[in-house]
Amino acid sequence: MEKKDVIIVTDPGVDDAMAIMYAIFCEQLNIKLLTIAGGNGPISNAVNNALYLMELFKKDIPVAVGLDHPLNRPPVYATKAQGKGGLGGVKVNPKRLSKKPIEKSACDAMYEILKNSKKKIPIISIAPMTPIAEMLMKYPDSKNYISEIDFMGGTKEKIVGKPYREFNISFDPESVEIVLKSGIPMVMIPMELGHFAYLDKNDIKRFKKTNKIGRIYAKMFKKYKDFHVGHLGAAVHDVCTIYFLTNPHCIKTENGFIELKYYQEENDNYGYIDTSYDKKPNCSVAVDMDISDFKYDLFLTLEKTNEIL
């Protein structure tokens, strides 16, 4: 089976770490680049976490560093959910890391890979879209080399009262606006899909019992606080986005129209995605998934990490 080349934009992050593990060991994807954005924590933490995962998995996927801030606003990180270092209960000591990020910036590295590819490449965005927007501004022709952008973010639901402040969108909404207006085909994996696909306490116990990698992830989950699932378990939003590329038959989508809007009230100003179905569609929106198949495939992939133990 021929693997599909992909670029992943990430800000590891416990759920990012889960997504990266799945993307590497599902055997269907060839990760050309990990592009690091700030979000779940400062860019330095996100880079170190990505390098840690590459060492853990014994992989040489290049890691490229993006901007350390959103385009037009100060950063507000998600450390309350992800833990101070970003990987929940796992602490990364940068002094013990032997791998380093590549010298090229995320923007330049992505463009070089896209332009030199024989066919268009999808970008998987499981983080704020800052690096993608930066590339589109610096290299406007880059959109011609991207087959689609599959992103985790926003919500398809209409919220009564204040629009919902989903993190990946609200961290850098100006970047999202640039990406959405580019005309690149989009697939939206909204936050609620991760709330369907959460790992319950028994799943986490199974992680711990499976192998060494599973025990490391179970340790991550100890200090991972998803405020929607809460005591029920751990939501793994980001891996749903990878799963769409590998198992599209397990995820139901609808064609919708999405656009970036802003909510402002006194000192509160944030961006959100508005989803509607009465306009000409510009996006495929995931609305449901087969949870049993998802968990089966996730644990099957975890077992494949035995090859590196």
The whole-number mean pLDDT for each consecutive block of 10 residues of the chain, a chain of 309 residues, reads: 94 95 97 96 96 97 96 91 87 96 98 98 98 98 98 85 90 98 97 88 93 95 72 86 96 96 89 93 96 96 93
Residue 206: CB atoms within 10 A of its CB come to 16
For residues 6 and 79, is the Cβ–Cβ distance under 8 A? no
Contact (Cβ atoms closer than 8 angstroms) between residue 7 and residue 110: yes
Output the six-digit token pair for 95. Answer: 């002094």
**pLDDT score at 32:** 98
Helices (H), the chain: 14-25, 43-57, 79-82, 106-116, 130-138, 167-170, 173-180, 191-196, 201-210, 212-222, 237-246, 291-304
- 121 Cβ contact partners less than 8 Å away, ≥ 6 residues apart: 5, 6, 7, 32, 113, 114, 145, 146, 147
Q: Which residue has the tokens 């800052």?
A: 130
Position 23 scores a pLDDT of 98
**Cα–Cα separations (whole angstroms), residue 285 to 125, 154, 156:** 15, 10, 8
With 0-12 / 13-18 / 19 or more C-beta atoms within 10 angstroms meaning exposed / middle / buried, residue 238 is: buried
Answer for the pair 31, 61: CB distance below 8 angstroms, yes or no.
yes
Question: What pLDDT, on a 0 to 100 scale, did the predictor assign at position 197?
Answer: 84
Cα Rg, the chain, nearest whole Å: 18
User: Which residue in 70, 110, 87 sits closest to 21, CA to CA?
Assistant: 87
* Domains of the chain and any CATH numbers: 4-308 (3.90.245.10)
The answer to whether the beta carbons of residues 135 and 107 sit under 8 Å apart is yes
Would you tell me how many other CB atoms lie within 10 Å of the CB of residue 137?
Answer: 13
- pTM comes to 0.96
